[in-house]
Amino acid sequence: MVVGGGPGGFASAISAARSGAKTVLIERYGHLGGMATGGLVNIFPNLSDISGKQHIFGLNQEIIDRMKAKNAAFCPDEEDLGTTDSKVLEHYLNANMGWFYVRQDPNIGGRERLLYTAVLDPEVLKAELNDMVMEAGVDLLLHSWGTRPIMEGNTVKGVFFESKSGRQAILAKVVIDSTGDGDIFVGAGAEFDDELQSNFRTALAFSFWIANVDTSRLEDFRKSHPDKFALLMRDLTEKGGHSFYFTGLLQNQEGVLWFHPMHVKQVASDAMDVEELTRWNVLGRRGAQITYEFLREHVPGCEKCFIMQTAPQLGTQGGRRVIGEYILTPSDMESDEVFADTIVILANNDNGEISARHPCICVPYRCLVPLKIDGLLVACRAFSSKASVNQWFNIIPHCIAYGQAAGTAAALAVRAGIQPRRVDYKELQANLRKQGVKLPE
């Protein structure tokens, strides 16, 4: 049983079912994808390291390929990965997507290079994910909120959930907590860490899109009147609106500005406090409204704009993290350690000189296994890690990779009649390799 249908959850469910386990997936909203769809943060970054070499494959690549076939994904051509060609880089910088696609590589004197990132259409992705879980044979229950685990001693035996059908329960041999926030492991009594890094990543965020913008006129104005544009943006910010936007890059979109992410306030927020969630949602919506009204009235190219959609899911990258059999710490970003139970190799792109010397990091399966609770795996941003390292390795492709490993491990555990912590690492890795996951030799 998988609780939560975000990147960690849909990947867990698809992999468990494809590996032969009878699988049910419950999700509180009416769609799958979590932040990648409902949070409007539909960008899969850091698939390559700063030299442009791809490390994340498996289910991530499969999703991107399926979306490309629907003309609903945008990513650089393979032959351009790692290029320093300023003309190619300009395209991404003009769209404000620099951080996602362009990074300075200290190994070539700090010159900028192109990374592998994919932008996906969130509405098409919702439908594609439904297809993928159905094709895998997963029993899907939307509109179902996992409330607490059913325990027998220290072992999770299933989960209670609430929906319009009332309170129901499902018994399961393995439960995967992919709620992002660890709703299930907290109820199971697992130890966890909830230290919040006080930075923009742990601020609650409310994303929105503004459409029907004449982006050529807007760009002309920004470039021909930089001072006037800067003053207007300052005025907008002072009024409580948001001045930073991306221009989408998707071919099936024209005239759309993505206000993503719009951190309501750049300080840590408690995403577990319903009053705080409510307050930031109200403020976020007010900010979107102010932005839209201001753009319409004052900014050339935006006269006919409207708010196309706002994110149903408030975002945060901070929160509770399970204490697992292994805790990923900052020293792992510099150790180059290849764990015997490595389940994914991740690019280490955001740590300056450390990234240059240690372009990759391995993540062990034990980060998904709670220390003292059986019958449970954690496959989402709440994996076992210190806050300072979690913030760099909890993004969408990472959580998909954790889910792919957890779902595969759960199926192996069920088949062998053993606890997830007893799964044979070599067998797990052999199965992941068969699914196209790249692991150390």
Ligand X SMILES: Cc1cc2nc3c(=O)[nH]c(=O)nc-3n(C[C@H](O)[C@H](O)[C@H](O)COP(=O)(O)OP(=O)(O)OC[C@H]3O[C@@H](n4cnc5c(N)ncnc54)[C@H](O)[C@@H]3O)c2cc1C
Residues that bind ligand X (CB under 6 A): 3-9, 26-29, 34-36, 39, 41, 43-45, 145-146, 178-181, 183, 205, 261, 315-317, 380-381, 394-396, 399
Pairing relationship of beta strands 208-211 and 139-141 according to DSSP bridges: unpaired
Task: Find the shortest distance in angstroms from Cβ 35 to ligand X.
Answer: 3
Question: With respect to ligand X, which residue has the nearer C-beta, 41 or 249?
Answer: 41
Task: Find the shortest distance in angstroms from Cβ 73 to ligand X.
Answer: 14
In whole angstroms, give the CA distance from residue 371 to residue 353.
33
Task: Find the shortest distance in angstroms from Cβ 204 to ligand X.
Answer: 8
Task: Find the shortest distance in angstroms from Cβ 314 to ligand X.
Answer: 8
Task: Find the shortest distance in angstroms from Cβ 297 to ligand X.
Answer: 27
Question: With respect to ligand X, which residue has the nearer C-beta, 159 or 439?
Answer: 159
Question: With respect to ligand X, which residue has the nearer C-beta, 145 or 425?
Answer: 145
H/E run at residue 111: strand 111-114
Closest to 25 in 3D by CA, of 126, 134, 124 = 134
Phi, psi of 235 (to 5 degrees): -60, -45
Q: How many C-alpha atoms does 48 have within 13 Å on its Cβ side?
A: 24
In whole angstroms, give the CA distance from residue 110 to residue 203.
30
Question: With respect to ligand X, which residue has the nearer C-beta, 5 or 359?
Answer: 5
In whole angstroms, give the CA distance from residue 209 to residue 260.
8
Task: Find the shortest distance in angstroms from Cβ 304 to ligand X.
Answer: 28
Closest to 160 in 3D by CA, of 182, 187, 142 = 187
Question: With respect to ligand X, which residue has the nearer C-beta, 183 or 341?
Answer: 183
Phi, psi of 306 (to 5 degrees): -150, 160
Question: With respect to ligand X, which residue has the nearer C-beta, 157 or 296?
Answer: 157
Task: Find the shortest distance in angstroms from Cβ 11 to ligand X.
Answer: 8
Q: What is the 3-state secondary structure (H, E, C) of 336-374?
A: CCCCCCEEEEEECCCCHHHHHHCCEEEEEHHHHCECCCE
Question: With respect to ligand X, which residue has the nearer C-beta, 27 or 105?
Answer: 27
Residue nearest to ligand X (CB): 6
Alpha helices in 264-346 (DSSP H): 274-298, 332-335
